[in-house]
Chains A and B, each alone.
Chain A
Amino acid sequence: MTRTSAPGVRVKDLTVVYKTPAGELPALGGVSLSLAPGTITGIVGESGSGKSTLALSLLNAVQPPGRIKEGSVEIDGLGNVVELTGEELRRARGRQVGYVFQAAQNSLNPLKTVGKQLLDLGRSHDFDDLPALLKDARALLGRMGLDGGRVLDSYQHELSGGMRQRVGIMFALVLNAHLVVLDEPTTALDMITQAAILKIVRDVHHERGLTTLIITHDMGVAAEVTDSLAVMYGGRVVEHGPTTEVLGSPRHPYTKGLIRAIPRLSGDIDEARALPGRPPTLGTIPKQGCVFRERCPLRIAVCDTVDPEPVTRDARTVACHAVGHLATPVVPKEYV
């Protein structure tokens, strides 16, 4: 059965590994994160930080050579999706969890019209009333400023990037899922198209009562639409809290660096600073100690040996020895 209200999501101690020539390496190293029902949560971080891997895990859709090694993903009404298999899982995708994949612009089937693909989707989810499905899709596309009828009759190559992006969003919403995951929904779009799409995401979220997760590497995008913001680095959530507070008074040194790297329209432009160094890749994520230490201006001795545990205080979670270590004893943790 389809839920009619926004579900909550609780990710706990999630470790996802990819098989590489150097063995299985963790792309997510014990991530915990909750999405409150009815909110829009953003995940930001540089490329390779594990954002897409986390998003795929919400659907238990991590593909080989990757696998979920440990941890759980509880979604209200679905249970622990890590334990779902086969038919149960297939039905949950689309019907309960709507998903827009990264580069949705290129994920349509080039050989079939959008409408044909929609009918295939409806049939695979046993929709009896296909005309109603088409009608919903036309209405959604119309809401997004497109001529729904024309778009449904179009092939991928007949649509611009911004139009395809909106088609992706339509697919995520049309089966009436109440948990929607959008991976980089506006990357490579121009600012006006981006602003229009973000407004649609926000409006539909409120109208339908959704729980929404938006993955982006652009702080500005997250700032514009989310209620709650999680910052990822090296397969960890290093900071999480209400968006305006995380942006207004960031606590983790990485969050501070990311915010400072945004060129702004007003103020002294020379205050914008590139983050020194570059993000780690699977093979270079340190096996012990803080994953951010190579680039951290606050590094202290303990950072080299002990991975900082996330500590929650005043609705803000931060994983950093220089921020949270007085409040809670740190527990060393090892990753394979």
Chain B
Amino acid sequence: MITASGITKTYKQRGNMLGARAVPALRGVDFRIEKGGAVTFIGESGCGKTTLGRIVAGLETYDGGDIVIDGTPMSSLKPRHREPFFRRIQLIHQDPYSALNPTRTIHQTLAAPLALRAKQTGRGKAWMEERARELLALVGIDPGYVLPRYPHQLSGGMRQRVVIARALTVDPEVLVADESVSMIDVSLRLGVLALLKDLRERLNVSVLFITHDIATARYIGGDGELYVIYRGQVVESGPTERVISGPVHPYTQSLLSAIPVLHGVERPGPERVVPTEALNEAHPDTGCLFARRCPFRTDRCEAELPSLVSDGEQAHACYHPQRRNVIPVEAA
């Protein structure tokens, strides 16, 4: 189990004429991933999702708060002692075109991490060969076809599966899938999501899923938890299905309202919410971070930052929470 508490991260941007500018990417984020569980983060571009995913995978440092992996706080360890913990958390790059080394066959790509694994577990070459085939079969591709080939000889969907197979070489407990930059086709994408869901069930791995498309969060784990992040703050969280069908935070409602309606099959939700202006990182962060864009703001909203309050299941950071019907309804 992984618990993140109060994670903060500020990037120092070497600025233009104004000198260095501090960009608060995460402002105290708490969450928990159970063994075999699914946690999804959604939010607009630049809200801190990738930063969080990289921190959880040990690829980025954080300024404050802590990550506790199976009871061990990472802050209590020297960097080189953290490595075995973070190795169990694998980031899956969602750009299958740049994630694989073009000069290596798939066999070579898998051999390197498997050799390390073989050394750790005292196994030999035969085990490596067998394991490579086993993993490719597990992700649903034909090992005989794929192993001798180079990435450019494979389709986008196959490459994506190879990337997942490579992540599985180290027997990870958590897969972090950041699809906010996904370039793969919609139909292929669903196949990859089905695979992640299947891996949860078969290997009991947990999935930390990052996306712009909330509907896909239902697909990968309707039984999981959904976190809505805005300018580095979690503004709403709870069981995925519950948050989607009964969002109370205006930002969550805006995200859900922005999902295209399949006219002819669906009708728009009756209470769709549209932000009054576009995201601007320069907006003040004294009060509610969403206040400048929120159609429901009051004076209080601009004065102080609402903190996350929970009813035990669903949590929100808003002074005027209210359920609204924003998601499309089936056309009769």
Contact = CB atoms under 8 A, between A and B. Distances in A.
A315 to B, nearest CB: 14
B275 interface: yes
A162 interface: yes
Contacts of A46: 185-188
B263 A223 contact: yes
Interface string B293-332: 0000000000000000000000000000000000111110
A273 interface: yes
Interface in A173-202: 187-196, 198
A258 B328 contact: no
Contact of A223 (B188, B258, B260): B260
Contact of B219 (A190, A223, A263): A263
Contacts of A323: none
A220 B262 contact: yes
B264 A248 contact: yes
Contacts of B331: 248
A17 to B, nearest CB: 22
A151 interface: no
A263 B216 contact: yes
A269 interface: yes
Contact of B260 (A224, A249, A258): A224
Nearest to B190: A274
B244 A261 contact: no
A267 interface: yes
A247 interface: yes
A224 B219 contact: no
Contacts of A275: 187, 190
A287 B279 CA distance: 50
Interface in A195-229: 195-196, 198, 217-221, 223-224
Contacts of A189: 45
A160 B263 contact: no
Interface in A257-281: 257-259, 261-267, 269, 272-275, 278-279
A192 B258 contact: yes
B215 A190 contact: no
Contacts of A217: 185-186
A279 B262 CA distance: 23
Interface in B146-189: 155-157, 180-181, 183, 185-188
A190 B180 contact: yes
B171 to A, nearest CB: 26
Interface in B252-293: 254-266, 274-275, 277-279
B255 A247 contact: no
A266 B218 CA distance: 9
Given A145-B278, A190-B44, A269 B222 contact: yes
Interface residues of B, number: 51
Contacts of B261: 220, 223-224
A272 B189 CA distance: 12
Nearest to A257: B187
B192 to A, nearest CB: 9
B258 A243 contact: no
A305 interface: no
A258 B187 contact: yes
A136 interface: no
B270 to A, nearest CB: 13
Nearest to A48: B185
A223 B264 contact: yes
A47 interface: yes
B101 interface: no
Nearest to A244: B264
A245 interface: yes
Contacts of B72: none
A161 interface: yes
Given A245-B264, A247-B265, A188 B187 contact: no
B191 interface: yes
A224 B263 CA distance: 7
Nearest to B329: A266
Contact of A160 (B45, B212, B213, B255): B45
A188 B183 contact: yes
A193 B187 contact: no
Contact of B185 (A47, A247, A264): A47
Contact of B44 (A192, A245, A246, A279): A192
A161 B45 contact: yes
A190 B262 contact: no
Contacts of B257: 195
Interface centre among A192, A258, A266, A275 (most CB of B within 10 A): A192
Contact of B262 (A47, A223, A249, A273): A223
B329 A263 contact: no
B332 to A, nearest CB: 11
B214 interface: yes
A217 to B, nearest CB: 6
Contacts of B244: 265
A121 B190 CA distance: 41
B155 A278 contact: yes
11 contacts: A162-B278, A191-B255, A193-B278, A194-B258, A217-B186, A224-B263, A248-B331, A249-B264, A263-B193, A265-B327, A275-B190
Given A160-B46, A190-B45, A259-B262, 15 more contacts: A46-B186, A145-B277, A188-B183, A190-B212, A192-B254, A195-B260, A223-B265, A247-B263, A249-B264, A264-B215, A264-B266, A265-B218, A269-B218, A269-B222, A272-B190
Interface of B: 43-46, 155-157, 180-181, 183, 185-188, 190-191, 193-194, 212-216, 218-219, 222, 244-245, 254-266, 274-275, 277-279, 327-331
The 5 A-B residue pairs whose C-beta atoms are closest, nearest first, are A220-B260, A248-B264, A244-B264, A247-B264, A195-B258
